[in-house]
Structure 1
Amino acid sequence: MARIGIPSALLYYIYYPFWLTFFNEIGVQVVTSGRTTKNILDKGVREALADACVPIKLFFGHVMDLKDKADYLFIPRVVCLNGKTIYCPKFLGLPDMIRHSLDDIPPIIDVRIDTRQGRLSLIKAYLEIGSYFGASRNTVLRAYCLARAALRRYNLLLMKGFSPIEAMELIKNPDNKKLVLPPKANLRFAVLGYPYAIYDSFISVNILDKLKKMGVNVLTAENINPLLLSLQKNCGLPKRLFWTFSDKALKAAHYLFRHDRVDAVLHLTAFGCGPDSLLNKFIELEAKQHRDIPFMTLMIDEHTGEAGMATRLEAFVDMVRRRKEAFACQN
């Protein structure tokens, strides 16, 4: 059985349940690089371009960890999946960056996926992927339908409040009693940003778990129904943001600020990310229109220390809690 390697970074947190189901159904074994470690990050920092953002450097490290464990690497050239916005240009160039930067890597499956090319473009892309492994048309179409169903189940779990790692575990083991939503706390924070930064507990310095241990319920853009986000339209801009994850995060910020569903908003941003710097400014401008909801930006890179992040979070949570208690006393 052929083995295909999927790095546990970037789009992994959004589409892995789809990819896992698809490849299993066409008879291909999926191998992942697992959770991020310091060793994986260090490898990526050594191999990637110096001016790349930390998520891209991390992707290089995950590829290095996988290259001797798989017969193929799956690094699709994902351009557009909603017919409107595109992914970061570095995503588009990832297959070429990996191919020309790393030695002794297995063949890369870098099929281009762009739904702006027509309604059947997604199916055509996966038929092309299936052809690498000799899968018949009917087998690929069946696998594609089952993968779409798996992705729907996954997204429903995210909207219930589970994180991607928790949702993946629940799909694999629905009877896992350890995975339950935390009890409602007296504080509720939104953590906005790109999913591959927020949900990677190593580069985010475990921000979600830290907040939960401080008695804070956490809400992310992935926990919000996409229909509610679509109602935000262009967020007061002449046109919607060009990049998919930036557009989603900005719409989540507008929705949360304007519907007062949280006690505070945090934006986790990666140093060196061009789209993220623009996104942060737009979220900051919206925050200034809603001064009753505290806002803070947290920047991460490969040097981010856990102690410094914990100190900032503790101070911010304490400030928001005292502010809420003072406001309650006045009323």
Structure 2
Amino acid sequence: MTARVGIPSSLLSFLYYPTWKTFFSELGAQVIPSGNTTREMLDLGVKEALADACVPIKLYFGHVQSLIGKVDYLFIPRVVCLNKETTYCPKFLGLPDMIRNSFKKIPPLIDIRLDVREGWNALLKAYQQAGLALGASRGTIALAYRKAMAVERRFFSLLQEGWQPLKAMEILNKAIRPQKPKGRLVLAVLGYPYLIYDRYISVDLLGRLKQMGVEVITMENLPPRVLYRQNDNLDKRPFWTLGDLVLRAAHYLLRHRRIDGIIHVTAFGCGPDSVVGKFLEMAAHECQAVPFMSLSIDEHSGEAGITTRLEAFVDMVCRRKEVYV
């Protein structure tokens, strides 16, 4: 019988789902994603997760709940470090443990540890553990790993061409290459991918900006080698991976790309975000006074409120551009 592997469509799946799907599919498993976020998922997550957890973690719990009873395994990797320098939020490190101890009836977890600091072949060893959990041979696992890494490279190259993850996944699946539309404004939308690209929790922020004639740049559209060369003039580099990348993306865009404004999307109650947001605001003020807005999102965020703020910000940036250009 073909093993069914469930992958919650939240957190880092916006960046690594093509990799994970390819790997498990090449092993002969049926990959089952939890799908788009719904109100029911969010309500389930709020009920199951710790009260002081941020909304992305609550949402992840809801996605896990929606998969229980439908799959034989849950793939919940322990993502620690992928760049040899910074680490992910502690909630990422403890995610498998939180899930395992929060649900009474849950399928076996494939909770490999992804930490490239453990050696040049650390990722291969981690994926070998995942494959062995499904009973695959080492030769089959090695071939599946190579194919998964090839898909990952193609996917990230699409992101750096300016596509957003969901559209890049569509291009990968259908082998199409549509033309990217140009906008009357270019805004940088900076924040964690699981906030920006989740259409439900972000109230389809990117789609609404597109309808307003805005061209969006996110940190995933920038080559990592460029970001890691940025000197952000801080005495100490931010410790957490995604916060560090958000700040570096802001400095790069302000110095080397013409943008009309910055929108920082943050999760309510996220400590690192409160620090990063202040540095983003200071950087925008110092570099030609680029308009800056922060949007805080939680499980109570309303569509009307966010839409009104977006419309007001875009209108203000348009008026400013007409005056100064």
Asked if TM exceeds 0.5, the reply is yes
Q: Deviations over 1:14-66 (max 9, x none)?
A: 11111011001111111000000111111101111111100000000000001
Q: How far apart, CA to CA, are the structure 1 residues paired with 2:180 and 2:199?
A: 18
TM-score in terms of structure 2 length: 0.97
> Which residue in 1 is equivalent to 2:256?
259
Q: How far apart, CA to CA, are the structure 2 residues paired with 1:130 and 1:185?
A: 45
Q: Deviations over 1:219-261 (max 9, x none)?
A: 000011222212204x111232111111111100001112242
> Which residue in 2 is equivalent to 1:216?
214
Per the TM alignment, residue 134 of structure 1 is displaced from its structure 2 partner at its CA by 1.4
SS at match of 1:267: strand
AA aligned to 1:121 is A
Q: How far apart, CA to CA, are the structure 2 residues paired with 1:24 and 1:232?
A: 38
Per the TM alignment, residue 159 of structure 1 is displaced from its structure 2 partner at its CA by 1.1
1:306 partnered with 2:306: no
Q: How far apart, CA to CA, are the structure 1 residues paired with 2:202 and 2:208?
A: 10
1:325 partnered with 2:316: no
1:241 partnered with 2:238: yes
TM-score in terms of structure 1 length: 0.95
SS at match of 2:94: helix
Q: How far apart, CA to CA, are the structure 2 residues paired with 1:202 and 1:238?
A: 37
Structure 2 stretches of 5 or more lacking a match?
Answer: none
Q: How far apart, CA to CA, are the structure 2 residues paired with 1:312 and 1:169?
A: 30
AA aligned to 1:220 is T
Alignment of 1:1-16 (within 5 A): 1-16=2-17
Alignment of 1:59-138 (within 5 A): 59-138=60-139
Quick one: which of 222, 225, 229 aligns to 2:227?
A: 229
Q: How far apart, CA to CA, are the structure 1 residues paired with 2:158 and 2:104?
A: 39
1:269 partnered with 2:270: no
SS at match of 2:323: helix
Q: How far apart, CA to CA, are the structure 1 residues paired with 2:135 and 2:32?
A: 19
Q: How far apart, CA to CA, are the structure 2 residues paired with 1:3 and 1:66?
A: 11
Q: How far apart, CA to CA, are the structure 1 residues paired with 2:222 and 2:3?
A: 37
1:294 partnered with 2:291: yes
Is the deviation greater in 186-195 or in 289-298?
Answer: 289-298
Per the TM alignment, residue 291 of structure 1 is displaced from its structure 2 partner at its CA by 4.5
Is the deviation greater in 255-264 or in 147-156?
Answer: 255-264
> Which residue in 1 is equivalent to 2:202?
204
Q: How far apart, CA to CA, are the structure 2 residues paired with 1:227 and 1:261?
A: 20
Per the TM alignment, residue 288 of structure 1 is displaced from its structure 2 partner at its CA by 2.3
Alignment of 1:16-31 (within 5 A): 16-31=17-32
AA aligned to 1:221 is M
Per the TM alignment, residue 265 of structure 1 is displaced from its structure 2 partner at its CA by 0.4
Q: How far apart, CA to CA, are the structure 2 residues paired with 1:94 and 1:261?
A: 38
